[in-house]
Amino acid sequence: MTFTPASADEPAVVPAVKLRPEILASPPYRQGRPAAADAFKLSSNENPFPPLDGVIDAVVASGAFNRYPDASALALREVLAARTGVSPENIHVGSGSVALLSQFIAAAAGPGDTVVYPWRSFEAYPGLVTVAGATSVQVPNRADGSHDLHALAAAVDDTTRVVIVCSPNNPTSTTVSAAAFEEFLARVPSDVLVLLDEAYAEFVTDADAVQGLRLTGRYPNLVVLRTFSKAYGLAGLRVGWAIGPVEILDAARAAAIPLSVTQPAQAAALASLEREDELLRRVAELADRRDRLHAELTAQGWFIPAAQGNFVWLATGDATDAANDALLAGGIVARAFPNSGIRVSIGEEESVEKLLPITQRIVDLLPVGHPARRLG
Ligand SMILES: *Cc1c(COP(=O)(O)O)cnc(C)c1O
Protein backbone atom coordinates (compact mmCIF):
# COMPACT_ATOMS: atom_id res chain seq x y z
CA MET A 1 0.00 0.00 0.00
CA THR A 2 1.28 3.45 -0.79
CA PHE A 3 0.29 6.59 1.01
CA THR A 4 0.51 9.80 -0.93
CA PRO A 5 0.21 13.02 1.04
CA ALA A 6 -2.20 15.53 -0.48
CA SER A 7 -0.51 18.41 -2.20
CA ALA A 8 -1.85 21.10 -4.47
CA ASP A 9 1.03 20.48 -6.88
CA GLU A 10 0.65 16.74 -7.35
CA PRO A 11 -1.73 15.06 -9.77
CA ALA A 12 -4.84 13.52 -8.22
CA VAL A 13 -4.37 9.92 -7.04
CA VAL A 14 -7.14 7.48 -7.91
CA PRO A 15 -8.65 6.27 -4.61
CA ALA A 16 -8.78 2.55 -3.86
CA VAL A 17 -12.45 2.63 -2.91
CA LYS A 18 -15.60 3.53 -4.81
CA LEU A 19 -16.49 7.17 -4.22
CA ARG A 20 -19.24 9.38 -5.64
CA PRO A 21 -18.10 10.72 -9.03
CA GLU A 22 -19.45 14.22 -8.35
CA ILE A 23 -17.42 14.33 -5.13
CA LEU A 24 -14.27 13.14 -6.93
CA ALA A 25 -14.80 15.94 -9.43
CA SER A 26 -15.06 18.58 -6.67
CA PRO A 27 -12.00 20.43 -5.45
CA PRO A 28 -11.33 19.86 -1.74
CA TYR A 29 -11.56 23.02 0.37
CA ARG A 30 -8.19 24.73 0.51
CA GLN A 31 -7.65 27.75 2.71
CA GLY A 32 -5.80 30.78 1.44
CA ARG A 33 -2.06 30.70 2.02
CA PRO A 34 -0.92 31.86 5.46
CA ALA A 35 0.47 35.38 5.51
CA ALA A 36 4.20 35.97 6.01
CA ALA A 37 5.10 37.49 9.37
CA ASP A 38 5.21 41.07 8.08
CA ALA A 39 2.27 40.71 5.66
CA PHE A 40 -1.37 41.64 6.29
CA LYS A 41 -3.86 38.78 5.97
CA LEU A 42 -6.82 40.29 4.18
CA SER A 43 -8.01 37.05 2.58
CA SER A 44 -10.78 35.70 4.81
CA ASN A 45 -12.92 38.70 5.83
CA GLU A 46 -11.86 38.18 9.41
CA ASN A 47 -12.25 40.84 12.06
CA PRO A 48 -8.83 42.38 12.75
CA PHE A 49 -9.73 43.19 16.38
CA PRO A 50 -8.73 40.58 18.96
CA PRO A 51 -11.43 39.08 21.21
CA LEU A 52 -12.59 41.24 24.13
CA ASP A 53 -11.23 40.19 27.52
CA GLY A 54 -14.74 39.52 28.80
CA VAL A 55 -15.39 37.14 25.91
CA ILE A 56 -12.18 35.22 26.58
CA ASP A 57 -13.11 35.02 30.27
CA ALA A 58 -16.54 33.62 29.37
CA VAL A 59 -14.96 30.97 27.15
CA VAL A 60 -12.60 29.88 29.91
CA ALA A 61 -15.41 29.88 32.49
CA SER A 62 -17.65 27.78 30.21
CA GLY A 63 -15.52 24.74 30.46
CA ALA A 64 -16.43 21.47 31.92
CA PHE A 65 -14.83 20.20 28.73
CA ASN A 66 -15.44 16.59 29.70
CA ARG A 67 -19.18 17.25 29.24
CA TYR A 68 -21.12 17.54 25.98
CA PRO A 69 -22.53 20.97 25.15
CA ASP A 70 -26.19 21.95 25.41
CA ALA A 71 -27.29 20.43 22.09
CA SER A 72 -29.85 23.10 21.22
CA ALA A 73 -27.96 26.13 22.59
CA LEU A 74 -31.10 27.11 24.48
CA ALA A 75 -29.60 30.00 26.49
CA LEU A 76 -28.26 31.61 23.32
CA ARG A 77 -31.51 31.00 21.43
CA GLU A 78 -33.49 32.62 24.24
CA VAL A 79 -31.38 35.78 24.09
CA LEU A 80 -31.53 35.95 20.29
CA ALA A 81 -35.29 35.31 20.35
CA ALA A 82 -35.90 38.07 22.92
CA ARG A 83 -33.91 40.52 20.80
CA THR A 84 -35.64 39.65 17.57
CA GLY A 85 -39.15 39.29 18.97
CA VAL A 86 -39.67 35.63 18.07
CA SER A 87 -39.96 32.38 20.00
CA PRO A 88 -36.74 30.45 20.77
CA GLU A 89 -38.12 27.73 18.45
CA ASN A 90 -37.76 30.19 15.57
CA ILE A 91 -34.00 30.32 16.16
CA HIS A 92 -31.56 27.55 15.24
CA VAL A 93 -27.88 27.71 16.16
CA GLY A 94 -25.17 25.99 14.13
CA SER A 95 -21.40 25.69 14.14
CA GLY A 96 -21.01 28.64 11.81
CA SER A 97 -23.46 29.68 9.14
CA VAL A 98 -21.66 27.38 6.69
CA ALA A 99 -22.95 24.47 8.78
CA LEU A 100 -26.43 26.00 8.68
CA LEU A 101 -26.28 26.39 4.90
CA SER A 102 -25.29 22.75 4.63
CA GLN A 103 -28.20 21.66 6.84
CA PHE A 104 -30.85 23.67 5.01
CA ILE A 105 -29.63 22.62 1.58
CA ALA A 106 -29.45 18.95 2.60
CA ALA A 107 -32.89 19.16 4.23
CA ALA A 108 -34.51 20.53 1.09
CA ALA A 109 -32.58 19.32 -1.95
CA GLY A 110 -31.30 15.93 -3.09
CA PRO A 111 -30.65 14.09 -6.37
CA GLY A 112 -32.74 15.53 -9.19
CA ASP A 113 -33.36 18.81 -7.36
CA THR A 114 -31.74 22.14 -8.10
CA VAL A 115 -30.43 24.93 -5.89
CA VAL A 116 -30.44 28.35 -7.55
CA TYR A 117 -27.99 31.03 -6.49
CA PRO A 118 -26.18 34.04 -7.96
CA TRP A 119 -22.66 33.72 -9.20
CA ARG A 120 -20.11 34.86 -8.32
CA SER A 121 -21.06 34.47 -4.69
CA PHE A 122 -19.90 32.62 -1.58
CA GLU A 123 -17.39 29.92 -2.54
CA ALA A 124 -18.97 27.35 -0.21
CA TYR A 125 -22.33 27.20 -2.07
CA PRO A 126 -21.31 24.93 -5.00
CA GLY A 127 -19.67 22.32 -2.79
CA LEU A 128 -22.56 22.19 -0.30
CA VAL A 129 -25.04 21.62 -3.14
CA THR A 130 -22.88 18.85 -4.61
CA VAL A 131 -22.49 17.09 -1.26
CA ALA A 132 -26.29 17.13 -0.86
CA GLY A 133 -26.51 15.32 -4.21
CA ALA A 134 -28.40 18.22 -5.79
CA THR A 135 -27.48 20.33 -8.82
CA SER A 136 -26.38 23.98 -8.83
CA VAL A 137 -27.98 26.55 -11.10
CA GLN A 138 -25.76 29.64 -11.10
CA VAL A 139 -27.22 32.95 -12.24
CA PRO A 140 -24.62 35.53 -13.32
CA ASN A 141 -24.38 38.80 -11.41
CA ARG A 142 -24.85 42.08 -13.24
CA ALA A 143 -21.84 43.97 -14.58
CA ASP A 144 -21.54 45.96 -11.34
CA GLY A 145 -21.22 42.75 -9.30
CA SER A 146 -24.73 42.93 -7.85
CA HIS A 147 -27.33 40.15 -7.89
CA ASP A 148 -29.77 40.04 -10.80
CA LEU A 149 -32.89 39.18 -8.81
CA HIS A 150 -35.14 39.12 -11.89
CA ALA A 151 -32.92 36.52 -13.52
CA LEU A 152 -32.68 34.65 -10.21
CA ALA A 153 -36.47 34.43 -9.89
CA ALA A 154 -36.74 33.46 -13.56
CA ALA A 155 -34.30 30.57 -13.02
CA VAL A 156 -36.63 28.94 -10.49
CA ASP A 157 -38.54 26.00 -12.00
CA ASP A 158 -40.26 22.78 -10.91
CA THR A 159 -36.93 21.23 -9.92
CA THR A 160 -35.92 24.11 -7.62
CA ARG A 161 -35.88 23.43 -3.90
CA VAL A 162 -33.71 26.26 -2.60
CA VAL A 163 -32.77 29.77 -3.73
CA ILE A 164 -29.89 31.56 -2.00
CA VAL A 165 -29.49 35.34 -1.87
CA CYS A 166 -26.31 36.75 -0.33
CA SER A 167 -26.47 40.35 0.93
CA PRO A 168 -23.88 41.81 1.19
CA ASN A 169 -22.60 39.45 -1.45
CA ASN A 170 -19.32 37.71 -0.85
CA PRO A 171 -17.10 38.61 -2.72
CA THR A 172 -18.52 41.66 -4.53
CA SER A 173 -19.77 43.41 -1.33
CA THR A 174 -23.00 44.58 -3.02
CA THR A 175 -26.39 44.47 -1.31
CA VAL A 176 -29.89 43.86 -2.61
CA SER A 177 -32.44 46.51 -1.74
CA ALA A 178 -35.35 45.75 0.57
CA ALA A 179 -37.79 46.64 -2.21
CA ALA A 180 -36.10 44.40 -4.79
CA PHE A 181 -35.93 41.52 -2.33
CA GLU A 182 -39.63 41.71 -1.48
CA GLU A 183 -40.48 41.86 -5.18
CA PHE A 184 -38.31 38.78 -5.63
CA LEU A 185 -40.03 36.94 -2.76
CA ALA A 186 -43.38 37.67 -4.36
CA ARG A 187 -42.21 35.93 -7.55
CA VAL A 188 -40.68 32.81 -5.95
CA PRO A 189 -43.24 30.05 -5.25
CA SER A 190 -43.95 29.88 -1.52
CA ASP A 191 -43.00 26.18 -1.40
CA VAL A 192 -39.40 26.94 -2.45
CA LEU A 193 -37.03 27.67 0.44
CA VAL A 194 -35.32 31.08 0.23
CA LEU A 195 -32.11 31.42 2.23
CA LEU A 196 -31.02 35.01 2.83
CA ASP A 197 -27.34 34.81 3.79
CA GLU A 198 -26.56 37.94 5.81
CA ALA A 199 -23.12 37.04 7.15
CA TYR A 200 -22.11 40.72 6.93
CA ALA A 201 -25.38 42.37 7.96
CA GLU A 202 -23.80 44.40 10.78
CA PHE A 203 -21.47 46.22 8.36
CA VAL A 204 -24.33 47.51 6.19
CA THR A 205 -24.85 51.29 6.31
CA ASP A 206 -27.10 51.66 3.23
CA ALA A 207 -30.61 52.29 4.60
CA ASP A 208 -32.19 50.85 1.43
CA ALA A 209 -30.54 47.46 1.83
CA VAL A 210 -32.61 44.44 2.80
CA GLN A 211 -32.70 43.67 6.53
CA GLY A 212 -33.74 40.08 6.97
CA LEU A 213 -34.83 40.51 10.57
CA ARG A 214 -37.57 42.90 9.43
CA LEU A 215 -39.06 40.18 7.23
CA THR A 216 -39.19 37.24 9.62
CA GLY A 217 -42.68 36.00 10.32
CA ARG A 218 -44.02 37.45 7.07
CA TYR A 219 -42.95 34.74 4.61
CA PRO A 220 -43.54 30.99 5.13
CA ASN A 221 -40.49 30.07 3.01
CA LEU A 222 -37.85 32.56 4.20
CA VAL A 223 -34.92 31.69 6.48
CA VAL A 224 -32.33 34.33 7.37
CA LEU A 225 -28.77 33.29 8.27
CA ARG A 226 -26.49 35.27 10.55
CA THR A 227 -23.08 34.60 12.07
CA PHE A 228 -20.85 35.61 14.95
CA SER A 229 -17.77 35.05 12.77
CA LYS A 230 -17.41 38.41 11.08
CA ALA A 231 -18.76 41.42 12.98
CA TYR A 232 -18.41 39.77 16.38
CA GLY A 233 -14.94 38.42 15.64
CA LEU A 234 -15.61 34.79 16.63
CA ALA A 235 -14.62 33.08 13.35
CA GLY A 236 -12.39 30.63 15.19
CA LEU A 237 -15.14 29.43 17.53
CA ARG A 238 -17.73 28.58 14.84
CA VAL A 239 -21.17 29.85 15.78
CA GLY A 240 -23.97 31.15 13.58
CA TRP A 241 -27.75 31.26 13.75
CA ALA A 242 -30.82 30.99 11.59
CA ILE A 243 -34.23 32.61 12.09
CA GLY A 244 -37.35 31.38 10.34
CA PRO A 245 -40.43 29.15 10.44
CA VAL A 246 -40.22 26.36 13.07
CA GLU A 247 -40.99 23.52 10.63
CA ILE A 248 -38.17 24.51 8.31
CA LEU A 249 -35.74 24.93 11.20
CA ASP A 250 -36.78 21.50 12.51
CA ALA A 251 -35.80 19.99 9.16
CA ALA A 252 -32.38 21.64 9.44
CA ARG A 253 -32.06 20.33 13.02
CA ALA A 254 -32.74 16.84 11.67
CA ALA A 255 -30.02 17.29 9.04
CA ALA A 256 -27.45 18.60 11.53
CA ILE A 257 -24.53 16.73 13.02
CA PRO A 258 -25.57 16.65 16.69
CA LEU A 259 -23.60 18.49 19.38
CA SER A 260 -21.33 20.41 17.01
CA VAL A 261 -21.88 23.82 18.61
CA THR A 262 -19.47 23.71 21.53
CA GLN A 263 -20.14 25.20 24.96
CA PRO A 264 -17.21 27.66 24.63
CA ALA A 265 -18.72 28.87 21.37
CA GLN A 266 -22.15 29.32 22.98
CA ALA A 267 -20.57 31.14 25.93
CA ALA A 268 -18.58 33.42 23.63
CA ALA A 269 -21.66 34.30 21.60
CA LEU A 270 -23.64 35.14 24.77
CA ALA A 271 -20.77 37.21 26.17
CA SER A 272 -20.50 39.03 22.83
CA LEU A 273 -24.19 39.93 22.85
CA GLU A 274 -23.71 41.35 26.36
CA ARG A 275 -20.88 43.48 25.00
CA GLU A 276 -22.57 44.36 21.76
CA ASP A 277 -22.15 48.12 22.09
CA GLU A 278 -18.39 47.79 22.24
CA LEU A 279 -18.32 45.29 19.37
CA LEU A 280 -20.60 47.41 17.19
CA ARG A 281 -18.32 50.41 17.74
CA ARG A 282 -15.56 48.32 16.18
CA VAL A 283 -17.88 47.40 13.33
CA ALA A 284 -18.62 51.09 12.75
CA GLU A 285 -14.89 51.81 12.65
CA LEU A 286 -14.38 49.09 10.05
CA ALA A 287 -17.33 50.30 7.97
CA ASP A 288 -15.84 53.78 8.08
CA ARG A 289 -12.45 52.46 6.98
CA ARG A 290 -14.17 50.57 4.17
CA ASP A 291 -15.89 53.73 2.94
CA ARG A 292 -12.62 55.66 3.00
CA LEU A 293 -10.83 52.85 1.13
CA HIS A 294 -13.64 52.76 -1.43
CA ALA A 295 -13.33 56.52 -1.96
CA GLU A 296 -9.53 56.36 -2.27
CA LEU A 297 -9.64 53.47 -4.74
CA THR A 298 -12.25 55.28 -6.80
CA ALA A 299 -10.04 58.37 -6.83
CA GLN A 300 -7.17 56.19 -8.06
CA GLY A 301 -9.24 55.27 -11.11
CA TRP A 302 -10.82 51.99 -9.99
CA PHE A 303 -14.41 51.04 -10.57
CA ILE A 304 -15.35 49.38 -7.26
CA PRO A 305 -18.93 48.15 -6.67
CA ALA A 306 -20.72 49.90 -3.78
CA ALA A 307 -19.22 48.05 -0.82
CA GLN A 308 -21.31 47.12 2.22
CA GLY A 309 -19.42 44.16 3.71
CA ASN A 310 -16.06 44.29 5.49
CA PHE A 311 -14.32 43.88 2.14
CA VAL A 312 -14.03 45.43 -1.32
CA TRP A 313 -13.94 43.80 -4.73
CA LEU A 314 -11.37 44.56 -7.41
CA ALA A 315 -12.79 43.24 -10.70
CA THR A 316 -9.34 42.61 -12.15
CA GLY A 317 -10.58 39.91 -14.58
CA ASP A 318 -7.77 38.63 -16.83
CA ALA A 319 -5.26 40.76 -14.90
CA THR A 320 -6.01 38.99 -11.61
CA ASP A 321 -2.83 36.88 -11.39
CA ALA A 322 -0.54 39.83 -12.13
CA ALA A 323 -2.42 42.08 -9.71
CA ASN A 324 -2.33 39.45 -6.98
CA ASP A 325 1.42 38.96 -7.49
CA ALA A 326 1.89 42.69 -6.99
CA LEU A 327 -0.17 42.60 -3.79
CA LEU A 328 1.75 39.61 -2.42
CA ALA A 329 5.08 41.21 -3.22
CA GLY A 330 3.90 44.29 -1.32
CA GLY A 331 2.89 42.31 1.76
CA ILE A 332 -0.86 42.09 1.16
CA VAL A 333 -2.45 38.64 1.17
CA ALA A 334 -5.90 39.03 -0.42
CA ARG A 335 -8.23 36.42 -1.93
CA ALA A 336 -7.76 36.11 -5.68
CA PHE A 337 -10.29 34.36 -7.89
CA PRO A 338 -8.41 33.57 -11.14
CA ASN A 339 -9.70 35.47 -14.19
CA SER A 340 -12.36 37.09 -12.06
CA GLY A 341 -11.16 39.44 -9.35
CA ILE A 342 -9.62 40.02 -5.95
CA ARG A 343 -11.44 40.39 -2.66
CA VAL A 344 -9.65 42.53 -0.10
CA SER A 345 -10.83 42.43 3.52
CA ILE A 346 -10.90 45.55 5.67
CA GLY A 347 -8.13 45.01 8.19
CA GLU A 348 -5.89 47.19 10.31
CA GLU A 349 -5.50 50.88 9.39
CA GLU A 350 -1.83 50.18 8.52
CA SER A 351 -2.93 47.57 5.99
CA VAL A 352 -4.81 50.26 4.09
CA GLU A 353 -1.73 52.47 4.02
CA LYS A 354 0.27 49.54 2.69
CA LEU A 355 -2.39 48.63 0.14
CA LEU A 356 -3.05 51.96 -1.57
CA PRO A 357 0.33 52.55 -3.29
CA ILE A 358 0.11 49.03 -4.74
CA THR A 359 -3.45 49.43 -6.03
CA GLN A 360 -2.42 52.72 -7.67
CA ARG A 361 0.30 50.92 -9.64
CA ILE A 362 -2.10 48.11 -10.59
CA VAL A 363 -4.88 50.36 -11.87
CA ASP A 364 -2.43 52.47 -13.83
CA LEU A 365 -1.39 49.35 -15.74
CA LEU A 366 -4.93 48.24 -16.59
CA PRO A 367 -5.86 49.01 -20.20
CA VAL A 368 -8.44 51.71 -20.88
CA GLY A 369 -11.85 50.06 -21.08
CA HIS A 370 -10.96 47.34 -18.57
CA PRO A 371 -14.00 46.56 -16.36
CA ALA A 372 -12.06 47.42 -13.19
CA ARG A 373 -11.30 50.93 -14.49
CA ARG A 374 -13.60 53.88 -14.16
CA LEU A 375 -14.65 55.37 -17.46
CA GLY A 376 -13.20 58.79 -18.24
C1 LIG B 1 -18.08 33.99 6.11
C2 LIG B 1 -19.40 33.67 5.47
C3 LIG B 1 -20.30 32.77 6.02
C4 LIG B 1 -20.11 31.98 7.21
O5 LIG B 1 -19.27 31.94 8.04
P6 LIG B 1 -19.32 31.05 9.35
O7 LIG B 1 -17.98 31.34 9.91
O8 LIG B 1 -19.50 29.63 8.93
O9 LIG B 1 -20.45 31.54 10.16
C10 LIG B 1 -21.52 32.55 5.43
N11 LIG B 1 -21.85 33.19 4.32
C12 LIG B 1 -21.02 34.06 3.74
C13 LIG B 1 -21.46 34.75 2.52
C14 LIG B 1 -19.77 34.32 4.28
O15 LIG B 1 -18.95 35.15 3.66
Question: All domains of the chain, ordered by start, with CATH?
Answer: 21-49+277-365 (3.90.1150.10), 53-273 (3.40.640.10)
- The answer, yes or no, to whether residue 13 has pLDDT greater than 60, is yes
Whole-model pTM: value is 0.95
- Percent of the chain at pLDDT > 70 equals 95
Distance in angstroms (rounded) separating the CA atoms of residues 93 and 100: 8
Q: What's the CA-to-centroid distance between 52 and ligand 1, angstroms?
A: 21
Q: Determine which residue's CA is closest to atom 11 belonging to ligand 1.
A: 199
For residue 306, the tally of other CB atoms under 10 A from its CB is 16
Residue 184 has pLDDT above 50, yes or no: yes
**What is the Cα–Cα distance from 157 to 92, expressed in whole angstroms?**
28
Q: How many whole angstroms from 165 Cα to the centroid of ligand 1?
A: 13
So what's the pLDDT on residue 199?
98
Bond preceding residue 168 cis, omega within 30 of 0: yes
Q: Which residues line ligand 1 (CB under 6 A)?
A: 45, 96-98, 122, 166, 170, 197, 199, 227, 229-230, 235, 240
Residue 242: enclosing H or E segment and its boundaries? strand 240-243
User: Which has the higher per-residue pLDDT, 33 or 89?
Assistant: 89
Average pLDDT of the chain, as a whole number: 94
Distance (Å, rounded) from C-alpha 44 to C-alpha 235? 10
- Please identify, by atom number, the ligand 1 atom nearest to the C-alpha of residue 95: 8
Sheet containing 135-140: which strands, arranged edge to edge?
A: 91-94, 240-243, 222-227, 193-197, 160-166, 114-119, 135-140
Of 167, 229, 232, 234, which is best to mutate to test ligand 1, by the most ligand atoms within 8 angstroms of its C-beta? Answer: 229
- Closest of 202, 151, 150, 142 to residue 174, by C-alpha: 142
pLDDT tens for each residue of 89-126: 999 999 999 999 999 999 999 999 999 999 999 999 99
Q: How far is CA 91 from the centre of its chain?
A: 19
Residue 195's pLDDT is what? 98
Q: Report yes or no: 314 and 302 within 8 Å, Cβ to Cβ.
A: yes
Res 3: pLDDT: 46
How high is the pLDDT of residue 2? Answer: 44
